[in-house]
Amino acid sequence: MRFYHHEKTEFFVIPDVIEGGEEENDRLIRELPSIFRDKAAPVWHLHESLERLVRLCEEWLRVCFGSSGQYAAIRTARWHRRMNEAFTEIYIRCQLRTKIHGLRMLDGRVLGNYPLDTADSTNLACNVPKTEQKYPELTLQLRALGCSEQQVLEGRCAVLKHAIESVTPPTIEQWINSAAKAA
């Protein structure tokens, strides 16, 4: 309970089964003690029905989008079509204003295209230590400056963090206007 009431705990994700079915995930939501509901956010998996998404958005202040099933790989053409279908359904057709949290969606190429209120990622934790595999040119530049290995890691972290923070997602209204122009 200590962290639940912490001023920086805006919400938490209700446990889910990523490749599970709608019934299984709805059961996990029902098992949530009601005293935690005001900060809880259920997950809608992209392979699940749009009907379930609408129902969750009607019942919760925030819903998390999780890439799964045939939409597990983010940024594919199929994934983008599904994301557009989902946002069109809730924000244009149903005119809901539920906040959306993107699970694994801090990539600027995702974050900059969808009206996500919040997002998370393991990008920094996974990519900062991969000095030779991910962004090796960044590592070379830092080493050329005479940075120690610890400073290389810190520098990589700072640059990647800045890249994420420099992207601003569109507002719901901006996304709706953009979708209308594309239609």
pLDDT at 180: 86
Per-residue pLDDT of the chain (183 residues; tens, 9 = 90+): 677 778 888 899 999 998 889 999 999 999 999 999 999 999 999 999 999 999 999 999 999 999 999 999 999 999 999 999 999 999 999 999 999 999 999 988 899 999 999 999 888 888 999 999 999 999 999 999 999 999 999 999 999 999 999 999 999 999 999 998 887
Residue ranges per domain, the chain? 12-122+167-182
Closest alpha carbon to 62 in 78, 42, 33: 42
Cα(51)–Cα(69) distance, rounded to whole angstroms? 17
pLDDT at 132: 95
pLDDT at 139: 96
